[in-house]
Chains A and B, each alone.
Chain A
C-alpha cells in the first residue's frame, strides 16, 4: 500500500504526498471489528485500500443502522479535522479491511504549516463531505419508497 496510489492523493503534489507517506502506517481489521467507535478520539485519518467498512449510527434502544459503506479508494471521515475531534459514528469492517493511517495531530500540523497544500487537501475532502450530505438527503427523501 502506498499513499500515492490512493485515489484521494492521486494527482496531488508528489513531494507533499511523499512527506506524508513517511508518517503513514498500515492498519488491518478483521471482519466484524471496529475501525473507529462513536465518541472515541478521532486521532487518525484512514484511507481504505481493500475490504469494506460500514458507517453505523448507534441508536438508543434500537439496532445500529448502516448509513453508508466505504471501500477501496475511499476515506473514512473528517472528524479528525473538526473539533472536538470525536468520531460521530462507528465504522465496522464487513470483510477483512486494510487501510493506511495518518496521525491526526501530525496531519493537522502539516496542513497548518502548508496552507496551499492544505487548501488542496480540503478541496479533496470537501467532495467526500458533500457526497455524504447528498447521500443523507436522498436517504431522508426515501425516493425508492415513493
Chain B
C-alpha cells in the first residue's frame, strides 16, 4: 500500500485536470474548447502539429490536435469533431467543467524548415485545426517565408471550421487562402471541388517550397502526388496522419504504421518516409 506522499502523478500516464474556459460551436458536429490548468496558472508549451490526450472522466480518452496559437502559453485550444463516444462526451462539456489532459505529444510541423521557402498548406475537413498554429506562426513572422498558398477544403460550406477567422486570412494582403467544398447548393458562391482541383492555380517555386498537408489520407496522398508532379521533392512534403492512438507514448501499438508509431514518431511525417505505406492495402 502506497503512502499518500508516494502517490505522485506518474507523468505521462495520469491526466492533469483542466478547466473549460470556453466552448465555441464551429459546425453542428464540431466545437472548439479552450482549456486552462485547474488551480494555479502555469506555463504551457507545444509545437504546432502536436496533440493532447483529452480525458472525459468516466468515459475515456481521445487524441486531439492542438489548434491554438503556440505563443499563448496559459491555455490549450482544441477543435473537436464528434466521431465517437469520447468526442461526443467532449461535445457535451460546458464552461467550468473539468477534463483531463495528457500531453502534448508527437512531432510537430517543421516550421523552421520552411524559412526562406515558399509554403503550400493544404487542409481537408478537420485537417485545418492542426495547421492553424502553423498559420499563426507564419503570419506573425511573415518576413521569414516566401509565398504562402493555403487551400482548405471541406465537405460542404456548413462544414467549414474557424469560418470567421478564415475571412480574415482570405483578406490578408500577403497570404493566399483558397477555400473549396466538395458539394454545395446555390447559396455558395465560393469554389466547389476537392482540394486538388485548386492546385493548378497555386504559385510557388518547386525547388524551394515546403508543403504541409493534413486531412483524410486519400486527400493527402492525391495532393502529395500532385505536388510531386509539380516538382516539389517528396522530402519537402510533410503530412499529419491520424491513426487510432491510445497510449500516446509509443507503447501500446494501436497506431503502429510500419516501423513507426504515429503517436511517438508522428503524427507529422515526411511524405518521402511514408509514401510506400500508402500503397499497402488496408494498412
Is A54's beta carbon under 8 Å from chain B? yes
User: Per a CB cutoff under 8 Å, which of B182, B189, B191 touches A144?
Assistant: B182
Interchain CB contact under 8 A, A144 and B185: no
Is B219's beta carbon under 8 Å from chain A? yes
For the residues of A in contact with B, the DSSP-based class is mixed
For chain A, the bracket of interface size reads 20 to 34
Interchain CB contact under 8 A, A135 and B155: no
Interchain CB contact under 8 A, A144 and B183: no
Interchain CB contact under 8 A, B200 and A138: no
What's the Cα separation between A122 and B189 when bound, in Å? 31
Q: Write the B128-148 contact mask toward A (1 if CB under 8 angstroms, else 0).
A: 000000000000000000000
Is A96's beta carbon under 8 Å from chain B? no
Is A112's beta carbon under 8 Å from chain B? no
User: Per a CB cutoff under 8 Å, which of A7, A54, A142 touches B192?
Assistant: A54
Beta-carbon contacts under 8 Å, B149-190 to A: 153-155, 159, 180, 182-186, 188-190
User: Per a CB cutoff under 8 Å, which of A65, A134, A142 touches B155?
Assistant: A142
Interchain CB contact under 8 A, A139 and B191: no
Is B125's beta carbon under 8 Å from chain A? yes
Interchain CB contact under 8 A, B184 and A65: yes
What's the Cα separation between A15 and B15 when bound, in Å? 71
Interchain CB contact under 8 A, A67 and B216: no
Is B124's beta carbon under 8 Å from chain A? yes
* B28 CB, nearest partner CB in chain A, Å: 12
User: Per a CB cutoff under 8 Å, which of B124, B154, B159, B183 touches A66?
Assistant: B183
What's the Cα separation between A92 and B126 when bound, in Å? 30
What's the Cα separation between A135 and B200 when bound, in Å? 14
Tell me the nearest residue of chain A to B153, going by C-beta.
Answer: A144
Tell me the nearest residue of chain A to B155, going by C-beta.
Answer: A144
Interchain CB contact under 8 A, B189 and A64: no
Tell whether A135 pairs with B194 under 8 Å between CB atoms, given A144-B125, A144-B154: yes
Interchain CB contact under 8 A, B201 and A71: yes
Q: Write the A70-102 contact mask toward B (1 if CB under 8 angstroms, else 0).
A: 011100000000000000000010110000000
Is B87's beta carbon under 8 Å from chain A? no
What's the Cα separation between A90 and B184 when bound, in Å? 14
Interchain CB contact under 8 A, B218 and A66: no
* B27 CB, nearest partner CB in chain A, Å: 11
Interchain CB contact under 8 A, B194 and A138: yes
Is A60's beta carbon under 8 Å from chain B? no
Tell me the nearest residue of chain B to A74, going by C-beta.
Answer: B200
* B88 CB, nearest partner CB in chain A, Å: 16
Is A143's beta carbon under 8 Å from chain B? yes
Which residues does chain B contribute within 8 Å of A95, judged by CB atoms?
Answer: 189
Is A141's beta carbon under 8 Å from chain B? yes
Which residues does chain A contribute within 8 Å of B194, judged by CB atoms?
Answer: 134-135, 138-139
What's the Cα separation between A146 and B215 when bound, in Å? 11
* B33 CB, nearest partner CB in chain A, Å: 21
Is B222's beta carbon under 8 Å from chain A? yes
What's the Cα separation between A47 and B218 when bound, in Å? 30
Beta-carbon contacts under 8 Å, B181-225 to A: 182-186, 188-194, 196-197, 200-201, 215-216, 218-219, 222
Provide 5 A-B residue pairs closer than 8 Å at the C-beta atoms, listed in order of the A residue: A66-B183, A66-B188, A131-B197, A134-B196, A138-B218
Binding site for B on A (CB under 8 A): 7, 52, 54-56, 63-69, 71-73, 92, 94-95, 131, 134-135, 138-139, 141-146
